[in-house]
Amino acid sequence: MRRTIYDEDHEAFRESVKEFLDRSVRPHLEDYQEAHALPREFWVEAGKQGLLGLEVPEEYGGTEAGDYRFNAVLTEELAKVNMSLPSCLGIHADIVAPYLVHLTTEEQRKRWLPDFCAGQLLTAIGMTEPSGGSDLAALKTTAVRDGDGWVLNGSKTFITNGYSADLVVVAARTAPEKKARGITLFGVRSDSAGFSRGRKLDKVGQDESDTAELAFEDVRLRDDDIIGELDNGFIHMMQWLPQERLGSAITNLAHARQILDETIGYAQQRQAFGKPIGTFQHNQFLLAELVTQVEVTQAYVDQCVVAHAAGELTAIDAAKAKWWTAQVQNDVLDHCVQVHGGYGYMNEYRVARAWRDARVTKIWAGSNEIMKMLIGRDLGL
């Protein structure tokens, strides 16, 4: 079905992103996998291309478009390559960016954003801790007042870009008695004394992304490292979660669509019993159902993109998009593996890696259960 949410400018931008990916990224995908990380050159090239500053005003080195549909186009094109790219780049340019643009002081924007846009200051966000991620309000990392500064102690885990980040937005407890209302966000430089990282975590999929544990031992911070308002970090995180969830939904669907398209091509070529496997009625019906599922889902996600571009996307609608697309993606990719037969289980086949890469989407950025809990609460249940 023809999509109507993008105009000529968005499509021209899409072409420039594709050209960048073909030129600077696709030739190096095997290297990224082996390194279990995206190299700094990737970030610098993406910065030169203007892809890191879509949320950032020009005066701070950005290419602010003022239209979320450009972010959506970028996310779609990255997801067509693999899941790691929209995850890593999305954390930096789509998830951390709003915190640094909208919650910061003029001095902080000047300090952080030009290098952020140039790929010289790579960022991550540290919410999840070893003791739990779903119950964010229960986090244990503390920042305690000491003279005119703060002392940070605790740890974070599963942090995307955590191994290579220069600046981590860290959620820490500043007022123990106030629970959710006693959490503050800090910009913590990874070269601070007392900041350390564990090994790169060994994940089931997404080999190209670095995911790390972070530890803070008496890390000294200043008042001007606080992002947003003191004790208001939980509210700040809730405020920007719809964009994170929508980004996840766009990724889920674009990735699933791409692999499904490739699977349809495979079903047309692969022969069994003297004919293409796609012509067996079971496979024909299966692929018809999957295409329908994906296209109907696209209509909902597109409406979410339009709503978000207009500043109207609710946290609940974003939660629906996030869990539903994660489920659709996992269902679709599991069938795609099946259609590929034994080759679908070989890591050298893209469909196998895509299937591994996708599993986490029902867990991260708020699990499917947590999304349903939020939707259920909204129903008054």
Verify binding: residue 168, ligand FAD, rule CB under 6 A. Answer: no
Among 79, 183, 226, 360, binds ligand FAD (CB under 6 A): 360
Q: CB-wise, 20 or 158, nearer to ligand FAD?
A: 158
Contact between 203 and ligand FAD by CB under 6 A: the answer reads: yes
Give least dist CB 35 to ligand FAD, A.
Answer: 17
370 touching ligand FAD, by CB under 6 A: yes
The mark string for 75-114 relative to ligand FAD (x by CB under 6 A, - otherwise) is: ----------------x-----------------------
Q: Is 160 in the site for ligand FAD (CB under 6 A)?
A: yes
Active site residues: 244
**Selected binder of ligand FAD within 134, 268, 279, 314 (CB under 6 A):** 134
Query: Tokens 């890191």 belong to which residue?
Result: 52
Q: Is 125 in the site for ligand FAD (CB under 6 A)?
A: yes
Question: Is there binding between residue 123 and ligand FAD (CB under 6 A)?
Answer: no
373 makes contact with ligand FAD (CB under 6 A): yes
365 lies in the binding site for ligand FAD (CB under 6 A):
yes
The answer to the question of residue 158 lying near ligand FAD (CB under 6 A) is yes
Task: Please say which residue, 39 or 376, places its beta carbon nearer to ligand FAD.
Answer: 376
Nearer to ligand FAD, 187 or 278 (CB): 187
Residues that bind ligand FAD (CB under 6 A): 91, 124-128, 132-134, 158-160, 203, 211, 360, 363-367, 369-370, 373
